[in-house]
């Protein structure tokens, strides 16, 4: 996108919406009631509304480098709190993507200065799953598997949160782990068994 055309493009979009529905923005301004919280990477190629063909108001979104959910990050925690306690979403998706620069950087031994504290979370995922990952001889396959395992561990971080635990009990909040494949444009459901994951965690992390 040419930055200088941003407002021109916006005007074109407004006209397109109003041509379809005179009340489009009036209805949009009434409020939001999305059923999905999407937690994904900030990568400019992975835009959730586009890849799911969603409209404004359909998805509550939080994005950061490598789709990480640290349990001490106030930004992520605030978004999750609002989505669960106020919007009462029915689904939370953690979506990684193959070709993730943050995950690839975490696989390297370089000192990345300010990025080190953030990428430590992905390196911790590598440490936990080191045996599996080191047995993958192809570097690209190892990289893709770390993308998937990072999604899995971020789902685990969600399950450690009391508000998420309560929502799973009270209105069967569903958690999902996905990956977006840049080469095909397709979303892949990693089909994690969240109940089995919770069974592994609950003896230590159950707080509700």
Check which CATH number belongs to the domain holding 195 and give it.
3.40.1050.10
45 and 24 within one domain: no
Q: Which two tokens stand for residue 186?
A: 């397709």
Question: How many Cβ atoms are within 10 Å of 136's Cβ, its own excluded?
Answer: 14
pLDDT recorded at residue 110: 87
19 and 85 within one domain: no
- Cα 41 to its chain centre, rounded Å, is 6
193 and 155 within one domain: yes
Rounded CA separation 187/74 (Å): 28
73 and 40 within one domain: yes
pLDDT exceeds 80 at position 114:
yes
81 and 123 within one domain: yes
Residue 45 appears among annotated catalytic residues: yes
Q: Which of the following is catalytic: 62, 95, 97, 155?
A: 97
- Per the structure, the count of domains in the chain is 2
Per-residue pLDDT of 170-197, as tens digits, reads 999 999 999 999 999 999 999 999 999 9
40 and 27 within one domain: no
121 and 190 within one domain: yes
Look up the domain containing 106 and give its range. Answer: 32-205
Q: How confident is the model at residue 130 (pLDDT cuts 50, 70, 90)?
A: very high
pLDDT recorded at residue 112: 86
Q: Answer for the pair 13, 25: CB distance below 8 angstroms, yes or no.
A: no
pLDDT recorded at residue 208: 65
Q: Which residue has the tokens 């950087």?
A: 105
Q: Distances in Å between the alpha carbon of 188 and those of 87, 91, 168, 194?
A: 26, 16, 23, 16
Q: Answer for the pair 126, 146: CB distance below 8 angstroms, yes or no.
A: yes
- Phi and psi (nearest 5°) for 186? -105, 145
Rounded CA separation 50/68 (Å): 21
Residue 155 appears among annotated catalytic residues: no
175 and 79 within one domain: yes
Q: Which of the following is catalytic: 5, 12, 45, 186?
A: 45
Query: Which region holds residue 194: left if phi is over 0, alpha if psi is between -120 and 50, else beta?
Result: alpha
Q: CA quadruple 5, 11, 17, 20: dihedral positive or negative?
A: negative
93 and 12 within one domain: no
53 and 13 within one domain: no
The residues with which 39 forms a beta bridge, in sequence order, are 62, 94
Residue 41 appears among annotated catalytic residues: yes
Rounded CA separation 99/102 (Å): 9
pLDDT exceeds 80 at position 142:
yes
By three-state DSSP, how is residue 108 classified?
coil
Q: Which of the following is catalytic: 43, 62, 168, 176?
A: 43
**Comparing C-alpha atoms, which of 55, 135, 150, 62 is closest to residue 102?**
150
7 and 83 within one domain: no
Per-residue pLDDT of 67-108, as tens digits, reads 999 999 999 999 999 999 999 999 999 999 999 999 999 998
Q: Which of the following is catalytic: 62, 100, 155, 176?
A: 100
166 and 107 within one domain: yes
Q: How confident is the model at residue 63 (pLDDT cuts 50, 70, 90)?
A: very high
- Rounded to the nearest integer, the mean pLDDT of the chain is 96
């Amino acid at each position: 996108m040419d930055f200088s055309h941003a407002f021109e493009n916006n005007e074109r979009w407004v006209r397109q919406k109003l041509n379809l529905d005179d009340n489009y923005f009036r209805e949009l301004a009434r409020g939001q009631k999305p059923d999905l919280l999407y937690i994904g990477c900030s990568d400019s190629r992975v835009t959730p509304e586009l890849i799911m063909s969603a409209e404004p108001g359909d998805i509550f979104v939080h994005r950061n480098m490598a789709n990480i959910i640290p349990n001490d990050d106030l930004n992520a925690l605030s978004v999750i709190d609002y989505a669960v306690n106020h919007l009462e979403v029915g689904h939370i998706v953690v979506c990684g993507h193959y070709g993730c620069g943050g995950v690839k950087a975490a696989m390297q031994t370089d000192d990345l200065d300010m990025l080190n504290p953030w990428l430590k979370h992905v390196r911790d995922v590598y440490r936990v799953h080191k045996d599996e990952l080191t047995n993958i001889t192809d570097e690209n396959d190892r990289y893709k598997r770390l993308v998937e395992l990072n999604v899995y561990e971020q789902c685990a971080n969600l399950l450690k949160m009391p508000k998420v635990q309560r929502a799973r009990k009270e209105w069967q909040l569903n958690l999902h782990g996905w990956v977006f494949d840049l080469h095909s444009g397709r979303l892949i459901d990693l089909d994690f068994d969240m109940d089995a994951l919770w069974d592994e965690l609950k003896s230590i992390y159950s707080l509700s």
